[in-house]
Structure 1
Amino acid sequence: MKRWFALSMILIFACMPTISEATVKLPSSVIDISKENTYPNPTQNLPYLQPSELAKQLLQSANVKIENPELIRLLNESSISSTPFAIGYEATIYLGQWPLNYESIETSTNWEYQKVNTNFIDNRGGKTAVRLTYRQEIQKQVRGGLTASIPNEEDVKKMMLLTAMKKTNLPLSFSTWIGIGTKKEQAYNVPPKKLGYLYAYAPAVNEKGKVTYGEVYIVLKGKKKSIVVKNVTSQGIGAWIPVQDRLSFAFVASDVPR
């Protein structure tokens, strides 16, 4: 009976669907401006690079996990010819020191990462409520970046960006623009005898984790090809990555100027 129960539980868990990647739920204050944005932001297209057969063979032989797209690209562009007379042949090729992989520890979102616009109406002399809508007054660039200086910054940023995009399912980029004249028809009522302020903020994802570095060698022994990683080190790193074409709005009705 116990054996049957254990087997049944194994089958049940084996048939359960896997949990998909986490998706960040946007607060109601966050609005999509991708259609209205007068500055067309380029889409970040960072597909997961598929290794070639040779690259796959080398990656599987490595003593440290390698996920750096640039290193995989280099391996994809490499070729090593086999020869029937390779018995006794040995060679070691040094490819340099590389950031090998990034391990995410924490991913969070600041919906008010940077204020990019303020719209204002003075209704202190009014007798009825007036409508206040969003209109971008100046063209604004929002930049992210790493929180500390680190070797091979661009490679590390690509790995962190790929990880954050996968975990949040948000359109992310280390640089994004909000064009002048961008507007939304969504209205906020400013009561009589009040000042109305509508603040627009660019959100960003805060990614924290650990990057692993190592010296990468290709080792050839006869017909055998492998990767050996030496002098492996790890370093903690964080990054702010803005969310493209999304704004978080905060409306305030005030008795006095702010």
Structure 2
Amino acid sequence: MLTILTPVSAEKEKKKQVDKEKSHLVVIPNSVTNIAKENTYPNPAQDMPKLQPSELTQELINSSKVKIENPDLIRMLNESTVNSTPFALGYKAIVYLGQWPLNYESTETAPNWEYQKINTNFYDNRGGKAPYQIHYAQEVQKIVRGGLTAKIPSAEEVKKMMLVKATQNSGLSLGFETVIGIGTKKDHVYNIPAKKLGYLYGYAPAVNEKGKVTYGEVYLMLKGSKKTIVVKNVTSQGIGAWIPVQDHVSFGFIASDKPR
């Protein structure tokens, strides 16, 4: 049975696919605020550009029985030139390219909106007769760093692949380091009742990314005019990472009778 998609039905199918992808994205709670415009420290963009394999690199990737996603390996293959000739009968060569982390498979991407406390705004209104208003003002510059939860070979390459997958899965702007500058403010007001102490806590959120990285020894096989990638001694290892959310702060407000 042949199904023919009209332009309208094709557009509906595309919309369904987009909606399905969005349904897996992280929902940001009301207590979390984007401070990108107010942040006195301009964080550089952490987006990992998707490296496009060359025609030869794509041919080599397709020949491998193990999925290859490592952008550093793809870049090296892009920069390589392999000349072949139709008259190279009987020609055979094996080139060892090293041991590489080949791909990362994500199993869980979960946010922690209170990953690290970065600020406390406080006012003592116990002697007051009316509510007192406070708002968020960053008192010191804070550098929030993430990282892998265990030592692992080729850690920086693995972090790049994990960052890409975590960003895709969450829909959030992520980076292994983010900075909240001193003097960063938000106008939203919190009321401290009379006879109370008010505490406005600020937290840097982060994503806990978990999954599996696959390693292997990569060989370039040249036989006549045929070029292929062969991966040997394949191993897999579970790994996790904390990846801060760029330019976001989670707030928690408490009015208390006693100092905390």
- Shorter chain as denominator, the TM-score bin is over 0.9
CA distance in 1, matches of 2:229, 2:239: 26
Q: Which runs of 5+ in 1 are unaligned?
A: 1-6
CA distance in 2, matches of 1:35, 1:74: 38
Does residue 186 of structure 2 align to residue 168 of structure 1? Answer: no
Q: Deviation digits for residues 71-92 of structure 1, max 9, x if unmatched?
A: 0000010110122321111000
CA distance in 2, matches of 1:150, 1:90: 35
CA distance in 1, matches of 2:47, 2:32: 23
Residue type at the aligned position of 1:76: N
Q: Normalized against structure 2, the TM-score is what? A: 0.93
Which residue in the other structure is 2:199 paired with? 197
| Secondary structure in structure 2 of the residue aligned to 1:37 | coil
| Secondary structure in structure 2 of the residue aligned to 1:103 | strand
Q: Normalized against structure 1, the TM-score is what? A: 0.94
Which residue in the other structure is 1:20 paired with? 21
Q: Which runs of 5+ in 2 are unaligned?
A: none
Q: 1:47 deviation in Å?
A: 1.3
CA distance in 2, matches of 1:214, 1:195: 58
Q: Deviation digits for residues 201-238 of structure 1, max 9, x if unmatched?
A: 00000000000000000000000000000000000000
Q: 1:10 deviation in Å?
A: 11
Sequence identity (%): 67
Structure 1 vs Structure 2 CA RMSD: 1.8
Q: Deviation digits for residues 100-145 of structure 1, max 9, x if unmatched?
A: 0000011100000000000000000000001010000100000000
Residue type at the aligned position of 1:89: Y
Count the aligned residue pairs: 252
Residue type at the aligned position of 2:110: S
Q: 1:20 deviation in Å?
A: 2.2
Which residue in the other structure is 1:81 paired with? 83
| Secondary structure in structure 2 of the residue aligned to 1:127 | coil
Which residue in the other structure is 1:128 paired with? 130
Q: 1:8 deviation in Å?
A: 9.8
Q: Deviation digits for residues 2-49 of structure 1, max 9, x if unmatched?
A: xxxxx69998x9974322253211100000000000000000131111
| Secondary structure in structure 2 of the residue aligned to 1:98 | strand
| Secondary structure in structure 1 of the residue aligned to 2:140 | coil
Which residue in the other structure is 2:240 paired with? 238
